[in-house]
């Protein structure tokens, strides 16, 4: 079944110049990239993304990690992959959550590490099921930033909104 999944190349992936390597590994899935961008991750987005883990002991470190405060660089690359079995195909190449337990040829096995604080610095995020993918894609992307109409949309009047344009 065709499905969409969200991938985040986390700040360690960008800091270590691993974006090319990771995209090459992900291209083995033959899935289609239907959205991609570099995002500056603020506190609000980080908390929304990881809200289900807020009671975990590692949560404060996890927020520091995804907002770039651990690496002095708050950029991440977010992508939407689409195709048959996209969620499990990407999870397979990403590898297990714990980089020490991950298959050594997976992305996390090859490039991840465990910090002395105990946090898994595992280079990539990948949605784990259809509901999570839907929630995460709609959190990170606006409808017009994705080339397929994945989810229902509605039109709203945004007259009061200001936006920054090139001077």
Name the residues that contact Mg ion, by CB under 5 A: 128
Is 125 one of the annotated active-site residues of the chain? yes
Binding partner at 19 among Mg ion, ligand DAT, none, C-beta below 5 to 8 Å by kind: none
Beta strands in the chain (DSSP E): 2-9, 32-40, 75-84, 113-114, 120-121, 124-126
How many C-beta neighbours within 10 Å does residue 146 have?
19
Q: CB of residue 128 vs Mg ion: minimum separation in angstroms?
A: 5
Active-site hit among 49, 51, 52, 125: 125
Q: Residues 19, 99: contact at Cβ < 8 Å?
A: no
Contact set with ligand DAT (CB under 6 A): 53, 58, 62, 97, 118-120, 122, 125, 128
Q: CB of residue 4 vs ligand DAT: minimum separation in angstroms?
A: 16
For residue 47, which phi and psi values (nearest 5 degrees)? -65, -40
Catalytic residues: 125
């Amino acid at each position: 079944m065709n499905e969409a999944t969200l991938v985040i190349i986390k700040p360690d992936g960008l800091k270590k110049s691993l974006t090319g390597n990771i995209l090459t590994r992900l291209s083995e899935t033959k899935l289609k990239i239907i959205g991609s961008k570099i995002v500056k991750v603020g506190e609000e987005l980080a908390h929304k993304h990881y809200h289900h883990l807020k009671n975990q002991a590692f949560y404060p470190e996890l927020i520091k990690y995804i907002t770039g405060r651990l690496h002095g660089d708050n950029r991440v690359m977010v992508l939407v992959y689409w195709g048959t079995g996209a969620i499990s195909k990407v999870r397979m190449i990403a590898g297990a959550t714990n980089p020490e337990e991950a298959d050594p040829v997976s992305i996390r096995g090859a490039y991840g590490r465990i910090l002395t604080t105990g946090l898994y610095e595992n280079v990539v995020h990948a949605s784990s099921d259809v509901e999570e993918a839907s929630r995460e894609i709609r959190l990170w992307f606006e409808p017009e930033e994705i080339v397929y109409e994945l989810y229902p949309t509605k039109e709203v009047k945004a007259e009061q909104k200001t936006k920054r344009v090139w001077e």
